[in-house]
Amino acid sequence: MNDIVGQVILIVVIAIIVIFVLVVVARSVRIIPQARAGVVERLGRYHKTLMPGLNILVPFIDRLRPLIDLREQVVSFPPQPVITEDNLVVSIDTVVFFQVTDARAATYEIANYLGAVEQLATTTLRNVVGGLNLEEALTSRDEINGQLRIVLDEATGKWGIRVSRVELKAIDPPASIQDSMEKQMRAERERRAVILTAEGTKQSQILEAEGHRQAEILRAEGDAKAQVLRAQGEAEAITTVFGAIHRGEPDNLLLAYQYLQTLPKIAEGNANKLWVIPSELTEALKGIGQAFGERGAAAPGLAERHGGADAVAPEPSRLAEETAQAAGAAVQAAAAASAAADAAATLPAPPQPDAPATGTPGADPQQG
């Protein structure tokens, strides 16, 4: 019986020793993960900082505090009301990027470094934005971010924290200010649209006017060249006709006959309501009469030379009569052309003053 009791006691003692050994081993060996750090206190005082890997502690003497994350952390703080220089209350959201560089300082220099960073960011933000108006606050985010980062980094350096970046996530002005800003931006966009439209219209009108100007210049140059060429052609034609006339040596009879053929053309056209027989007509008729008279006088001699006594010479009176009939026919043709032009006109012709002589069939035969 005593042996049994002794064996039980021995087993219990061995179990207690094994459990104690396991506990000692468990408390002595610590494995720290990567990007983590542990602060060890020995008898209540700071002893060392455990780095990632396997670490041995003295059981029941050393105590390991909670591990600290050494990675860069991102903390978004709730919106904070901030008063600007022009007395407008805006709501600003901030995001802080920081990293713990000294686990001992982060443990013993500050009780709650997250809360401290939040409060420090809020106060610094109010100081910076308080010196700016609303428009500057909306357009100077980079400047505000830089000032916040500098102030936070200097203040948190002794806490073992490095602030890398500070960003303003949102700046929300009051609803009434937002409506006013939207109206202002809408008016500005409409003004720019009107200016661009006016500029486009101006440029199009300038280009169109330039095109018209160049077209008119080219058209005027073409007309000038055409007139020069036309004048040169007319000059050459006149020179050719003048030379042909002089080379042909025309007599007075031919010139008078051409003059009479030109008379009907005087009355051509709708605008010729009244035409006047020029004074040169009598000279032309006289020339024709004299020519025919000379031919009548020369006819007997020619008849004697060519036909003998049987040839009959035309009488001078008959030649004068034929000349007068030819002149009257020319005058009648001119009068007929003028009457046709009067009939084709849509409006009646106004009364014309008496002319020295009009082209009527009853012209005086003595003008020949």
Spatial CB neighbours of 82, under 8 Å, sequence gap ≥ 6: 89, 90, 91, 92, 125, 126, 129, 130
What does the pLDDT read at residue 304?
Answer: 47
Question: 92-115: per-residue pLDDT in tens?
Answer: 888 999 999 999 999 998 888 888
The Cα angle at residue 73 between residues 69 and 78, in degrees rounded to 5: 130
Query: What is the share, in percent, of the chain residues with pLDDT greater than 90?
Result: 21
Element (H, E) at 106: helix 103-108
What does the pLDDT read at residue 263?
Answer: 63
What is the C-alpha separation between 81 and 58, in angstroms, rounded?
A: 51
What does the pLDDT read at residue 77?
Answer: 87
Would the pLDDT of 86 be above 80?
yes
Least confident of 152-156, 186-190, 289-293, 357-361: 357-361
pLDDT band for position 194 (50/70/90)?
Answer: very high
What does the pLDDT read at residue 78?
Answer: 87
Would the pLDDT of 368 be above 50?
no
Would the pLDDT of 355 be above 80?
no
Kindly list the domain boundaries of the chain, sorted by start residue: 2-64, 71-179, 248-367
What is the C-alpha separation between 145 and 152, in angstroms, rounded?
A: 11
Would the pLDDT of 195 be above 90?
yes
What does the pLDDT read at residue 173?
Answer: 85
Question: 220-254: per-residue pLDDT in tens?
Answer: 999 999 999 999 988 888 888 778 777 766 666 66
What does the pLDDT read at residue 22?
Answer: 87
Least confident of 129-143, 160-174, 235-249, 349-363: 349-363
What does the pLDDT read at residue 59?
Answer: 86
What is the C-alpha separation between 278 and 355, in angstroms, rounded?
A: 11
Q: What is the mean pLDDT of residues 127-152?
A: 86
CATH 3.40.50.880 fits 71-179, yes or no: no
Question: 165-186: per-residue pLDDT in tens?
Answer: 888 888 888 888 878 878 888 8
pLDDT band for position 286 (50/70/90)?
Answer: low
What does the pLDDT read at residue 347?
Answer: 44
Would the pLDDT of 206 be above 90?
yes
What is the C-alpha separation between 199 and 17, in angstroms, rounded?
A: 98
Give how far Cα 88 sits from Cα of 82, 85, 166, 175, Å: 8, 7, 23, 11
